[in-house]
Structure 1
């Protein structure tokens, strides 16, 4: 039996219940004015994020087939915009759009399946253009927990070494849950918080700094 398949959000955020709770806390604490998601796929996580926050969701899917499926799913919902384009182009467009908030945005950067890996450029654009915002990156290496899976591209790992200086001056946090206590696909993630909200994020029980692992009560 796979218990993460049952419940109201079986497909959201890789079916990871702790990850879902992490986003609940981030939304409650940050009160985002908008959410940006890259990698819509079929829209399961998109729907979860919209129901959770009530904020406008801008979700980007490069694959035309997946984008069309998501467009049908959210037809009639003006709060969810499906963008069929490169995620970097979408970020630059929103950065220069006066109607899109320049602060208090929650960014969820999801998996990338193709040879072209835009993540470092995505993070660089976000950290330079938005204030008081949070970035969550999926499929990312958790350095002290090998049980969390992460993406590799040849010899390249999705890790802090790959991101390099693009994360500055954001603070870095990790999931405060051992991988063997997570459900679903058990993919790793990292949470990057801008200086203006880093203290708020640090107080959440679902995140930790790398120095210590404290398991929250359930």
Structure 2
């Protein structure tokens, strides 16, 4: 180790400007390091490293991944809809599950994320990505009747203080049947499931919970609500996941008899 340090010191003395650059870099203020994330946009997509979607889709939560797989097998949705593509980890996992059996629609409003996602998805069969706000995206799909009789929604669109969940739910409220998973939702009496907090007015914050979504639901529909009830060990094993457990809500719309048949068959 001492010899290596001596060699490094000798090389740095030969290139004093490079040495000075390292010193300045080390002493740079925090705002400088915060800018490094933006520099990533200069790296070509093909040179970037991405996580394995088999293990990291849906926050790396294997219980949630298995649940989504079971939903697709049991309820046979006619389309998959994701709001908030981000970096496509969950989108590509859905594409792997669905294969070519059903179309997958996803939207991303952020320009940099949209362009990166479009590149990553260009070889994914049956995946359609659009740069739109999620309420406009969902409303357009519903009006165009592009989703079939029983679509499956994964709602995860939020950024910069924009909270479109109620508008998304209103946009899909005319559908007669649907499976909906709302991400980052408050799980009652389970503080170990993380959730997002949003500022909707100056000094006023709230989270996604049943009270928040109730005004956006269709009073004529039959809703069944399910929350996760498992541990981090069951979700991740011994793997360390930065996000930890994330809360979510499963909402079945007019699917009570189908769920009963699935339970009877299981």
Q: Kindly report the root-mean-square deviation, in angstroms, between the aligned alpha carbons of the 2 structures.
A: 2.3
Assess if the C-alpha contact under 8 Å between 2:157 and 2:165 holds in 1. Answer: no
Give the drift of 1:202. 6.5
Q: Please list the CA deviations of residues 98-123 of structure 1 after superposition, one character each: whole Å capped at 9, or x if unmatched.
A: 4x134210000015122121001101
Q: Which residue of 1 aligns with 2:208?
A: 158
Aligned counterparts of 1:139 and 1:204: Cα–Cα separation in 2: 27
Q: List runs of 5+ in structure 1 lacking aligned partners.
A: 1-5, 206-218
Distance 1:204 1:148 in 2: 27
Moved over 6 A (4+): 202-205
Whole-angstrom CA distance in 1 between matches of 2:191 and 2:260: 23
CA 1:11–1:132: 2 relative to 1, 3 Å: same
Q: Larger % of helix: which?
A: 2
Q: How far apart in 2 are the matches of 1:21 and 1:204? A: 16
Verify: 1:57 aligned to 2:107, yes or no. Answer: no
Aligned to 2:21: none
Shift of residue 157 of structure 1?
1.0
Question: Residue 216 of structure 1 corresponds to which residue in structure 2?
Answer: none
Shift in CA distance, 182/113, structure 1 to aligned 2, threshold 3 Å: same
Q: CA deviation at 1:201?
A: 4.1
Deviation at 1:30, TM superposition (A): 1.2
1:174 is aligned to 2:174: no
| Aligned with residue 15 of structure 1, among 60, 69, 73 | 60
**Equivalent pairs, count:** 198
Mapped pair 1:190 → 2:224: no
* 3-state SS of 1:70 partner: helix
- The partner residue of 1:71 within 102, 110, 118 is 118
SS in 1 for 2:55: coil
1:32 corresponds to:
77
Deviations 1:158-188 (A, max 9, x none): 1111112323432111124245532243100
TM-score norm. by structure 2 comes to 0.68
* d(CA) in 2 for partners of 1:108, 1:53: 14
